[in-house]
Amino acid sequence: MSDRLLVLVRHGQSEWNLKNLFTGWKDPDLTAQGIAEAREAGRKLKAHGLSFDIAFTSVLKRAQHTLDLTLAELGQTGLPVRKHLALNERDYGDLSGLNKDDARKKWGEEQVHVWRRSYDVAPPGGESLKDTLARTLPYYVQEILPCVLRGERTLVAAHGNSLRALIMVLEKLSPEGILARELATGVPIIYRLNADATVASKLDLAA
């Protein structure tokens, strides 16, 4: 039977992660650490004997750069790659580009915490996690999942919140459960799916 392999990896540390800025749809690149994390992701996947038939990523360079470096470590630089804004990070609207500490000074600790950690409250001009799910999940169901179920070994390099949308469905998490889930930068999560798209096994390579 085919492998039905799906691997998710959050991009390596970005320049704005390092500066503690809200990033969202802004487009900074990886730091030196982020580059190292992306390469390490590729090495870890190679050590597990994995290779891929297709990859998906967002239209933002930090995710694309992570994917490129990961595939280079795997010796798969010519792999077909589909890029789509459905996999973009959550849009932080008016918070984008702001230092998180400065945002707390402007709007208050409690309000910023609500914007960051509630499921359905969006920052001004931006998206809630629920909004992010609403654009990410249809793309997963229509474009990514069919590849996996056909037995195409699939790699997705994206962002903390767009990947949470996929994890919420894969692991059947509640809104509260997904809010509590932190995704480390550059760490692959390996899923193998059953024929009905449920998870047969999961391996987090954070160790």
CA dist 14 and 142 (Å) reads 29
Catalytic pick from 37, 40, 65, 89?
A: 89
Does residue 23 sit in helix, strand or coil?
coil
Active site residue 89: yes
Burial 166-199 (b: 16+ CB within 10 A, else e): bbbbbeeeeeeebbeeebebbbbbbbebeeeeeb
Query: What is the DSSP code (8-state) at residue 186?
Result: T
Mind telling me the catalytic residues?
11, 89
